Amino acid sequence: EPEVTQTPSHQVTQMGQEVILRCVPISNHLYFYWYRQILGQKVEFLVSFYNNEISEKSEIFDDQFSVERPDGSNFTLKIRSTKLEDSAMYFCASRGPVNTEAFFGQGTRLTVV
């Protein structure tokens, strides 16, 4: 069964460093998403991506963040100059055409120390 794959499963980084979180969406899906979930809190929408550009972004998704689909299969989230409060689980999701459900990856736990 097709699935969304995220790597790494756990990333530890020092404050101020840049990290890239990677996602391989389900092939032939068209819409891609990143979410953040701080421990014990709700799932927060970061950004949606369609047709090689950002379609929506939340107020959390500031200049520190960027997304890219570099090679037609991977979908990455880059966090520049990480802060302690960026420590969270980051989920990637993808879905097919309009009005279909999204499927989630297993998440990357980012720990900033």
Q: Is 45 in the site for other proteins (CB under 8 A)?
A: yes
Question: In terms of CB distance, is 2 or 16 closer to other proteins?
Answer: 2
Question: In terms of CB distance, is 30 or 66 closer to other proteins?
Answer: 30
Question: In terms of CB distance, is 14 or 40 closer to other proteins?
Answer: 40
Counting residues that bind other proteins (by CB under 8 A) gives 22
CB contact set of 17 (below 8 Å; sequence gap of 6+): 81, 82
49-108 residues near other proteins, rule: CB under 8 A: 55-56, 91, 93, 95, 98-107
Pairing label, strands 88-95, 75-79: unpaired
Count of alpha carbons within 13 angstroms of residue 13, beta-carbon side? 24
The one-letter amino acid at 82: T
Tokens of 86: 């960026």
Tokens of 70: 């570099």
Q: Is 34 in the site for other proteins (CB under 8 A)?
A: no
The distance from CA 55 to its chain's CA centroid, rounded to whole angstroms, is 14
Question: In terms of CB distance, is 75 or 91 closer to other proteins?
Answer: 91
What is the distance between the alpha carbons of residues 14 and 22, in angstroms, rounded to a whole number?
18
**Sole binder of other proteins in the list 19, 21, 48, 86 (CB under 8 A):** 48
> Would you tell me which residues interact with other proteins (CB under 8 A)?
31, 33, 35, 42-43, 45, 48, 55-56, 91, 93, 95, 98-107
